[in-house]
Structures are given as C-alpha cells and as structure tokens.
A and B are shown apart, each in its own frame.
Chain A
C-alpha cells in the first residue's frame, strides 16, 4: 500500500526515502539520542537528587567521602555525561528555534558544545581528584 501511494504521490525520491535522513539531512540521530539520554537520566537524576537531599547539612569530610566512593564516582560521572549531552541537544533546539542569523546560531551551538565538553571533563576530573586525594 505504501509503495503504491508513494510512487504516485510522494515528492520524495526513492533514494531519499531509502537514506531516511529527512529534511534536516541528519535523520533521527538528534531525536533518538535526546530520548536515550532522557531515559538514562531518569534513574541517574533520581539517585543524584535523593543522595544530595540525604547529605543536606553534611560537612566537607562526609561529602568528599561520598563523592570519592567507587559507586558515586561511576554513577556521578555517567550522570554528568548524560546530563550535559542532553542539555546540549535541548539547548541546540532552543537556539535553532529563536536565533535565525546563521553565523550567530552556529557560534552559539559551537560554544555550548565546547562548554559542555569542558564542564563534563572538569566535573569528572574533580571527582577523580576527590576520590584519589586521600
């Protein structure tokens, strides 16, 4: 059915349909990774916020002990990676929606990507330093 109607009505060429990249020429990669990171952030985000709430009022020693624990090191690193990735994808759409000057748009998208990489790295390195300081 789909083939019969597409051959007569669709404006999209058969090769374009086969590639499946759509009008943005990127396919569903952006959409899909945003959902994947969202899914990962459900347990990671709940774990992180619950942990921080339970640590309310704790002193430096108690917090660095928690930050330096192997599970925290792994889980919080994953949280940072997923959260910054998710944030870049989301902010990119906001920029694309409201900034229409191509140079400004591209500059802002590049800036948030660089910033996200830098902050993710800084966060993970800080965690490693806390874990291996003692």
Chain B
C-alpha cells in the first residue's frame, strides 16, 4: 500500500454482525482451514505410502488430544464449507437471494453442520468399537 491506508469496509468498529455476514466470513475462514487440511491429507498419504513406521507415528498423533482437535476442526470446517458452498451455488443460480430465504438457509447450514459433524464422529467412534 502506497502510504495511504484506505478505510476498511465493512467498518469493523461500527458494523453490527449479522447471520449473513457471519456465514460469509466463516466460509472464507473454513476455506483457509481446509486448504491447510489438504496439506495434512497429503502428508497422511505420503506416510501411508512410506510404510508402517511413518504411518503409525502419524496415526498416533491423530489419536492425541491435539490431533483429535485438529480432525474435529477440519470435520466442522468441511461440513460447513460443503453446506454453505451449496448455498453459494444456489445463489449463483439466482435462488434464495431474498433476505428471509438467506436467513433460513443460513440457519440450515449451521444446524446441518452440527448434525453432520456429530453423525460423522458417532459413526467414527462406533467403527472403533467405542459402543
């Protein structure tokens, strides 16, 4: 920037957060998080290809508290970005732009993210014989 700081829009100090702006910001943040997750996915594939030792080390990290928190974060980010992405594609097709519809789909995305994340982890723990 050439010495002239431009005003931020939205002006963060006076901008009242709304569901629509929140879901928009979260789409971008989850996208960045998922890009990092992609790098981790490739590391996982490389570890699987390079043999038992490397793979087991990565898997035991996945089973640690930090590993589980990362996987939980990535699963929330995935389901959110997936559902809100479909919402964006619908907007691109010209559907759901009215404010009541945008709010309804916004809440649907948040509830759907929570349900799908819980479902995924319940099935995952069931696969591991937790219950």
Contacts and interface: CB of A to CB of B under 8 A. Distances in A.
Interface of A: 35, 38-39, 41-42, 45-46, 49, 53-58, 60, 63-64, 67, 76, 80, 83-84, 87, 90-91, 94, 100-101, 115, 119-120, 122-123, 125-127, 129-130, 133
B86 A53 contact: no
A100 B3 CA distance: 11
17 contacts: A41-B85, A42-B85, A54-B123, A56-B123, A58-B127, A60-B48, A60-B56, A67-B48, A90-B28, A90-B35, A94-B28, A123-B42, A123-B46, A126-B42, A126-B45, A126-B46, A126-B49
A93 B28 CA distance: 10
Nearest to A63: B48
Contact of A127 (B28, B49, B120, B125): B49
A56 B49 contact: no
A56 B128 contact: yes
Main secondary structure of the interface of A (DSSP, over half): helix
Closest 7 CB pairs of A and B: A57-B128, A56-B124, A126-B49, A87-B35, A126-B45, A123-B42, A129-B49
Main secondary structure of the interface of B (DSSP, over half): helix
Interface of B: 1, 28, 31-32, 34-35, 38-39, 41-42, 45-46, 48-50, 52, 55-56, 59, 75, 78, 82, 85-86, 88-89, 92, 120, 123-125, 127-129
